[in-house]
Amino acid sequence: MVSCQQPATVNSVGIVPEPVEIRVQKGVFTLTEKTNLIFQGTDCAFEQYVINYFSSRWGVSFSREGDEKYGTVTFRLNEDYDKIVGDEGYRIEVNGKGVLLTANTSAGLVYALQSLYQLAPADVAQNSLREIKIPQVEIVDYPRFEWRGSHHDVSRHFFDVEHIKKHLDLMALYKMNKFHWHLTDDHGWRLEIDKYPKLTEIGAWRVDRPGISWSELDTWKYPEQAPKEGEPATYGGYYTKEQVRDIISYAAQRGIEVIPEIEIPGHSSEVLASYPEFGCDDYPYFVQIGPYWPPKAILCGGNDKVMAFLKDVIDEVAELFPSEYIHIGGDEAFPEGNNLIEFEKRYGQHSWDACPKCQKRMKDLKLKDKHALQGWMICEIEQHVKKHGKKIIGWDEIFEGGVTSDAVIMYWRDTIPLLKEALHKGNPVIATPTTHCYFDYYQIESDPNQEAPQWAGCLSLEKVYSFNPVPEGLPEELAKLIKGGQCNLWAEYLYTPKESEYMLLPRLLAMSESVWSPAGRKDWEYFLKKLPEQKRRLNVLGYNYCDKVGLIK
């Protein structure tokens, strides 16, 4: 074991997220084109990833000749399980002769590679001498949480495969391992489903109003602006199954699991635009063209054809995604507070209160209200998901309707009593409260409108850095049910990849320390010192970020 001590030089050892243990020795090891690259026990996919990584990021292809006099970089999959580093951890030793990276799994070696990359200066590819100096260090590192999530909404605005891959590269760089892909919502259905082609023929496309900002299309402030007769739906897109398989494999190579979200039963304008028969009424639903609040669109809870539709979709999703989980949404089915007042003013009764089919289902099953009907619906889907050997994740509202203790609760509303109740019932929880994890909020307190569109409030870099997925004072037996944390990138006001990256960065770096590094190794002041070199790295890699945060005062 090496001792815990702060790295001596920030510029050469400024790894994010901060490793568990790191010891810096005197001296460096110099890598050149002649340095030998050695793989022991690894598979071809991993080896190809490493070779491409060095060539694209450092501009070098190391020798495979086996002449060790120029030193070695060895990636070794352990033959005997290293209990200290576990399934995702790794060790790095750099001495005068070379670099040794070891782990129990490919994912562990992927993380070792990210740390090795961060041991070199950011601008190494511009170094004409083709010499890369790495400080001599010993690192022992493993994650605090098993769930280190990064969510991306691709419904409100569509993001292509290239952007998703760039996002996955960024996740890998900062050791995030769960990509929560928000594929369906009122503004577009983004996943090819063979049995229901209209979901993508109609549901993936909306009317575009160029020159009008989304703020001006916000249905909270202005009346719903339905498409005009004959107005073409030109904005949108979707992922074919082939593209999805490509993304899943790209992610897996980087130690990342892709979790699809199929929103049930609310946030369903795009489904009802495609298949109006799945609604409760004959309201003229359309794929929404601006911020949509309060939302009326909801799938009918009393129609057996809706349940059959959902199960068919789940079948195709379960077959496509190898993940252990399917996220089934479950949020905001019913307006509350001011939203309810506004909802009733516009639409009268909630669809489920007015619908004879929904009422009949409630009566037949002795469900006391619409919340119980949603609970029944989610439980039916949960049972169906289980037939595929998988589990559901849902936003925290699903807990209120009653689910089995296998359902994973994605806690977002910062309601500690609800969180504790879920934990007491034995439900695993992923912490993603709006207070610390909603990256669609703007980053700069004093400057909300300057650099990116925003709407909901401020979430500073420092606040993200202070995030602890385990609320203070939670007893150990409950705390262990918290799988980890996740940042959520909602895309109502993210029109382009550039804006997506801007909102994600540099806050993703703060999130990564909150979910990877031991709580005792987190240090805000030291994080700030590491940030400039990380920003240089982001420049080299071609990411856009908010440059006005994380400045040392």
Least Å distance, CB 357 to Zn ion, is 5
Pairing of the two strands 391-395 and 325-329: parallel
Task: Kindly write out the interface string for residues 197-236 of this chain, putting x where it contacts Zn ion by CB under 5 A and - elsewhere.
Answer: ----------------------------------------
DSSP letters, 393-431, are EEETHHHHT---TTSEEEE-S--HHHHHHHHHTT--EEE
Six-digit token pair at 339?
């939203």
Least Å distance, CB 353 to Zn ion, is 9
Task: Kindly write out the interface string for residues 253-282 of this chain, putting x where it contacts Zn ion by CB under 5 A and - elsewhere.
Answer: ---------------------------x--
- Toward Zn ion, which CB reaches closer, 89 or 302? 302
The catalytic residues are 185, 267, 332
Task: Kindly write out the interface string for residues 292-321 of this chain, putting x where it contacts Zn ion by CB under 5 A and - elsewhere.
Answer: --------x-x-------------------
Residues that contact Zn ion, how many (by CB under 5 A): 6
- Toward Zn ion, which CB reaches closer, 401 or 550? 401
What span, in angstroms and rounded, lies between the C-alpha atoms of 353 and 374?
A: 12
Helix (H) / strand (E) element for 482: namely strand 482-489
Other C-beta atoms closer than 10 Å to the C-beta of 325 total 20
Cα dist from 48 to 45, 99, 503, whole Å: 5, 19, 31
Contacts of 344 (CB under 8 A, 6+ apart): none
- Toward Zn ion, which CB reaches closer, 299 or 494? 299
Least Å distance, CB 139 to Zn ion, is 57
- Tell whether residue 367 is a contact of Zn ion (CB under 5 A): no
What span, in angstroms and rounded, lies between the C-alpha atoms of 68 and 14?
A: 29
- Toward Zn ion, which CB reaches closer, 137 or 280? 280
Of 457, 478, 470, 458, residue with least CA distance to 514 = 470
Least Å distance, CB 275 to Zn ion, is 14
| Cβ–Cβ < 8 Å for 535, 486 | no
What span, in angstroms and rounded, lies between the C-alpha atoms of 72 and 210?
A: 55
Least Å distance, CB 277 to Zn ion, is 11
- Toward Zn ion, which CB reaches closer, 107 or 300? 300
Q: Which value, to the nearest 10 degrees, does the dihedral of the CA atoms of residues 379, 385, 389, 392 take?
A: -70
- Toward Zn ion, which CB reaches closer, 357 or 420? 357
- Toward Zn ion, which CB reaches closer, 318 or 333? 333
Least Å distance, CB 351 to Zn ion, is 6
- The single-letter code of the amino acid at 385 is V
Least Å distance, CB 303 to Zn ion, is 6
- In 312-448, DSSP assigns E strands to 325-329, 391-395, 408-411, 429-431
Six-digit token pair at 164?
């998703």
Q: Which of residues 329-358 bind Zn ion (CB under 5 A)?
A: 355, 357-358
User: Residue 429 forms beta bridges with which residues?
Assistant: 409, 482
Footprint of Zn ion on this chain (CB under 5 A)? 280, 300, 302, 355, 357-358
